[in-house]
Amino acid sequence: MSLYEVNDGVAIITLDRPPLNTQGLPLRRHLDDALRATGSDSNVVAIVITGAGRCFSGGGDITEFNLPAGAEEPQAPALFARLEASPKPVVAAIHGMALGGGLELALACHARVAHASTQVGLPEVNLGLLPGAGGTQRLPRLVGVETALNLILKGTVSSAAALADSGLFDRVTEGSVLEEAITLARSLAADVAENHTLRRTSALACHMDNAQAFIAFARSTLKTPAGGPTAAQACLDCIEAAVCLPFAEGMAVESERFRGLATSSQFAGLRHAFLAERAAANVLDLPDGTSAREIKRAAVIGGGTMGSGIAITLANARLAVLLIEREQAALDRAFKTIREYYEQSVQRGKLSSDTAAARIALISGATDYAGIAEADLVIEAVFEDLEVKREVFERLDAVAKPGAILASNTSMLDLDLIAAFTRRPQDVIGLHFFSPAPVMKLLEVVRGAKTAPDVLVSALALAKKIGKTAVVAGVCEGFIGNRMIEAYLMQAGLLLDEGALPHQVDLAMEQWGMAMGPFRMSDMAGNDVGAKIRAARIERDASRVYSGVSDLITAMGRYGQKAGRGWYDYPPGARKPSPSPEVQSTVVAHSAQLGLQRRHISDEEIVDRLVLALVNEGFKLLEEGIAQRASDIDVVYTAGYGFPRWRGGPMLYAEQRGLADVIAALSRFSVGPVYQHAEHFWRPAPLLVRLAESGQSLAQFNLKETP
């Protein structure tokens, strides 16, 4: 394509790097060449920068980090500075989105025109970075310190319409952005011809009454994680510099803080998590050209907490949903839950009352299966019992129309057995939602041995439509997430036998970065539910070893949050759980009954045993092909199990730590109380040993194994 085209004296430079016009080296060079050419073209009196396709620019190219292209000239900060210094007016014509570096490019222009629906933001903080091309210095000068701080610190995305009066845009339109921008560019060129000064963002004053006190208050609200200072703290430093220092000095602060973050472990983890989520959507062995089946109407079998949540999730994506329960009373309870959810959403300002009413209207109810004949997708969300699921799927097989997708929300049962209850196993798939379904981002898509390719593609398309992060798993007990969490919870219980207490274990894991420790998690899920799962697993495999204290706690009626007492006490009105003296005495007594001398257990040992239990099981899953790549396992844990996103996931953690060191730690833990069979539990996964001995990375393993 040509560098630019001239429209009656206005040069139109188009950013053209599909699909999001990210500012990788080719686009930066194109923009640089075009700016230099238009600057020397006597036929050009003004410049408009626009984006090809569906957006202005999605920002920098994160895949260039740590590659030579990322360090090659022109770099964005210097490029944008040259743009801003142009003696000819430059106007940004913004549509679709202008995120990160895309918005920073627009900030450096002399004026900005945006379509009202355009999505704008500086989300770098979500990747452990800060806007590194002048965003922290230019944005406060245009919109003020408070608005800039909220946009940069929270990393949120807003519509241009919502920011129309902020000072960010010169014009916000419902019409043609390009035409408006060209008109404005000609007007600015006429002003320049009459010796008017161009409005350069860097030259604007940045002030706010009591700005430093405001920033100090914002700083006091930030928490420092185990990994050290956060990107949010660095963003505050830069915004403070914008207020207190000249523009050039503020840019120097921004550059210094950016370089520090770009080499941090937090950025490495967050970047890995971001790229891993992208990769998870790519299923390696699907036939080319496989199309998704159309899904317009859905049905959900079971109106409990999970079933109601799934129905809400589907309705939020504007799908018609039929919710089925056995009895009217159960159906009434389900709809009460649904109405309460939407009422709370309205009260919190998340939805308008009209939108909430429209979504409730999408959900209908029934106590029979007749309406299922119209459904394109049926999701079973009944009790986790194979015989119960047999009954449901046999009935579905009889009434569902040909080509309907039959999905199970099972969290651990054999999907191939469930599929065998039908005469159409090719139409059966697992859709393992996480509770609360409308909130949790992860969706484990379980691919059965006979699941048809187009059913799998349909499931992935559905996940995208309902805003979930999908990870494809093979069939085994617990799939990826719950199979790994079993090993984690087993070690948590055995640590109690040896000398730890529940609140110590939880605190150690939470300080390390987990969203919630194992015992708080168990209380939330229900200790009675955990007891049933353990009993079923022991029935299938008597060699499994759990701490007996878990069953003692359950036998005492300490079922968790729902009972007001579990591993912790939950006093009415209290915001936090309280360690329970009754539980502590039960733990100590159980150790004595086992004949164990309780010992001091360090937080370091707690973290190592729990995290490496996940890691070792993850390597087994990878070798068995249950997960198609190591990064998929990381996505499951960062998106669904509260693993600290800035650590990237358990598999990245293992690789960064060093696989030889991981094996050495497993060896240390293999000596323990006889009843625990520690030597067997901590035996390193064969794949872990092979990679450690060969020096091969997990990424290299995946490349080698890819067909």
Q: Would you call 104 a catalytic residue per the annotation?
A: yes
CA 637 – CA 632 distance, rounded (Å): 9
> Do 679 and 307 form a contact (C-beta atoms < 8 A)?
no
- β-sheet bridge partners, residue 521: none
- DSSP SS3 for 120: strand
Task: Return the bridge partners of 299, or none.
Answer: 322, 378
The residue ranges of DSSP E strands in 61-205, in sequence order, are: 90-94, 97-99, 111-115, 119-121, 157-159, 171-173
Contact in structure between 379 and 352 (CB atoms under 8 Å): no
For residue 307, give the nearest of 288, 327, 330 by alpha carbon: 330
**Distance between CA 613 and CA 545 in Å, rounded?**
14
The answer to whether residues 117 and 126 touch, using CB atoms and an 8 Å cutoff, is no
Catalytic residue among 5, 72, 73, 104: 104
Alpha helices in 378-472 (DSSP H): 386-399, 415-419, 453-465
The active-site residue, picked from 124, 277, 486, 655, is 124
Strand order in the sheet with 46-51: 5-7, 10-15, 46-51, 90-94, 111-115, 171-173
Residue 387 known to be catalytic? no
Place of tokens 């059965």: 448
- Sheet with strand 119-121: strands edge to edge: 97-99, 119-121, 157-159
Q: CA 646 to CA 633: how far, in whole Å?
A: 15
| Residues whose CB is less than 8 angstroms from the CB of residue 92 and which lie 6 or more positions away in sequence, other chains included | 48, 49, 50, 56, 98, 105, 106, 109, 111, 112, 113, 181
Task: Give the three-class secondary structure for 195.
Answer: coil
Q: Please return the burial class of 291, using the count of CB atoms within 10 Å of its CB with bins 0-12, 13-18 and 19+.
A: exposed
Q: Are residues 152 and 136 in contact, defined by beta-carbon separation less than 8 angstroms?
A: yes
Give the list of residues 6+ apart from residue 100 with CB closer than 8 angstroms, or none. Answer: 58, 59, 60, 121, 122, 123, 124, 131, 135
Q: Which residues are catalytic?
A: 104, 124
